[in-house]
Amino acid sequence: MQDITGAVVADGQATPAALESGIGELLKTVGLRRVFSSGNSQVTALAGVNLCVTRGEMVAIVGPSGSGKSTLLHLLGALDTPTSGTVYFAGKSLEAISDAELTEFRNRAVGFVWQRHHLLPDFTAVENVAMPLLARGIASREALGAAHGWLEEVGLADRAQHRAGELSGGEQQRVAIARALVTRPLLLLADEPTGDLDEGNAGTIFELIERLHRSHRLTSILATHNLQLARRCNRTLVLERGLLVTGEESLVGRESASTRATGGRATAQEERG
Ligand code: ADP
Ligand code: MG
């Protein structure tokens, strides 16, 4: 099967040097819209998002609940298809590539971390981390070896043989991060990765993501409610009712609204008054 990275390079839109060196744009969206239909009503989750992320950037996406953060991450990772608009990865439209390439993109170019870790509780930590490699047909000895290496990177080598269900919340999230990176993706997409953790664990997990982002020269996009953590990223984008509004300067003024927001666009609208 053709590697999407190879396909992109072969297409001449990004050179191997550009992909390797951290120069240039890795991800771009143009007019990205996603409308969900339920019954007679339609919900516009994304209303035309234009976004450009440079290789090596760590970008935070903040915004009230229901503003479209998860929808955007799903589209960036090709887990969902836009109603209209386009996602470009290394210059290539995800729409234009074959199903096989798309599968390859999801499985290899992107690593996902979710708010809930989604580990298999009855499998050991190392088996959970090895899972994406086993799914790709890599021999179990090699897959488990790589998984051990990643558990070391996230500081859990001593928990390798523990069942995932026996680990603490913070430890489970570290296993989930190792699992997301075991395939050596270029892009890390994290949807509220610290959302289920207490403040101390949230800080530790964020620092771990920061460290792995740097040491593995990842491009990372994190949706978060935690504005303190968001500020530590290279850039903060604010989503409101499915649209990106300007970043940093508007962030402070929106802080209280954001932290108070509880449920969806109605709340966001009320708060804007
Ligand atoms: P956030 O992650 O910022 O909380 P979401 O992207 O989850 O926001 O949701 C954006 C909007 O789209 C919300 O109004 C939500 O109810 C709606 N939505 C998300 N997914 C679906 C779906 N599968 N079906 C219908 N509506 C959805
Ligand atoms: Mg969400």
Contact indicator for 217, 187 with CB cutoff of 8 Å: no
What does DSSP say about strands 84-89 and 92-93: parallel, antiparallel, or unpaired? antiparallel
Rounded distance between C-alpha atoms, residue 224 and residue 115, angstroms: 10
More confident residue, 154 or 40: 154
Q: Is the shortest distance between the CB of 63 and ligand 1 below 6 Å?
A: yes
- The response to whether residue 224 sits with its C-beta less than 6 Å from ligand 1 reads no
Pairwise CA distance, residues 146 & 181, whole Å: 10
- Could you tell me the domains of the chain? 4-272 (3.40.50.300)
With beta carbons less than 8 A apart as the criterion, state whether 64 and 251 touch. no
Q: What share of the chain is helix, strand, coil (3-state, %, to 5)?
A: 45, 25, 30
Q: How far is the CA of 93 from the centre of ligand 2 (A)?
A: 24
Atom of ligand 1 nearest to the CA of 37: 25
Cβ of 49 less than 6 Å from ligand 1: no
Q: Is the pLDDT of residue 29 over 80?
A: yes
What is the structure's pLDDT at 106? 86
Give the C-alpha separation, 234 to 246, whole Å. Answer: 14
- CB-CB contact of 93 with 13 (8 Å): no
CA distances from 247 to 19, 56, 194 (A): 26, 19, 21
Q: What percent of the chain has pLDDT over 90?
A: 70
Cα 76 to averaged position of ligand 1 atoms, centre (Å): 15
Alpha helices in the chain (DSSP H): 4-10, 16-21, 69-76, 99-104, 125-135, 140-153, 169-181, 199-215, 227-230, 248-260, 264-272
pLDDT digits 0-9 by tens, 48-94: 999 999 999 999 999 999 999 999 999 999 999 999 999 999 989 99
Residue 273 has pLDDT above 80, yes or no: no
Tens digits of residue pLDDT in 114-136: 988 789 999 999 999 999 999 98
